[in-house]
């Protein structure tokens, strides 16, 4: 029998709540948070009032990219830079190149179970908020 952990809606909402709470504590402006499963399919999403459409879509794109490439976006950027590659070379029109996306791995297995993407107005803040969301899942998935 094949047994694996999955990103369910309860886990995804816990991550979204953690990112929003951390953003509020840091005085972040409008932001969007997306959580996807291991296939890059959206599981949970939230955005602040007044968050522009670009930010909403980009949060989803960041989460999708981290899930599909199986790496945090900062690692993905370093990988591409070391090889002189652009995100477009991955032959997937939805793969993005920005920071602020982290991969969620199964405890003890290392398998990708999903990813989190945060898009606000500051690259470093996006990264911190995505990591805060990831930290909320460190106690284990449901």
The architecture of the domain spanning 9-135 is 2-Layer Sandwich (3.30)
Query: Which is nearest to 38 in space by CA: 11, 73, 5?
Result: 5
Q: What percent of the chain has pLDDT over 70?
A: 95
User: Which tens digit of pLDDT belongs to each residue from 71-93?
Assistant: 999 998 888 889 888 877 777 77
> Which of residues 15 and 93 earns the better pLDDT score?
15
pLDDT at 98: 77
End-to-end CA distance of the chain: 20
The one-character DSSP state at 117 is E
pLDDT at 14: 96
Integer-rounded Cα Rg, in Å, for the chain is 14
């Amino acid at each position: 029998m094949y047994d694996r952990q999955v990103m369910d809606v309860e886990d995804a909402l816990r991550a979204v709540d953690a990112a929003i709470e951390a953003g509020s504590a840091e005085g972040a402006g409008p932001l969007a948070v997306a959580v996807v499963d291991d296939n890059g399919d959206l599981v949970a999403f939230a955005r602040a009032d007044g968050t522009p459409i670009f930010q909403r879509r980009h949060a989803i794109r960041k989460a999708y990219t981290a899930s599909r490439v199986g790496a945090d976006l900062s690692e993905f950027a370093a990988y591409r830079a070391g090889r002189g590659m652009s995100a477009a070379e991955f032959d997937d029109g939805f793969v993005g190149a920005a920071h602020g996306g982290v991969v969620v791995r199964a405890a003890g297995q290392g398998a990708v179970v999903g990813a989190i993407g945060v898009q606000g107005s500051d690259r470093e803040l996006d990264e911190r908020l995505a990591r805060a969301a990831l930290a909320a899942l460190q106690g284990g998935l449901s």
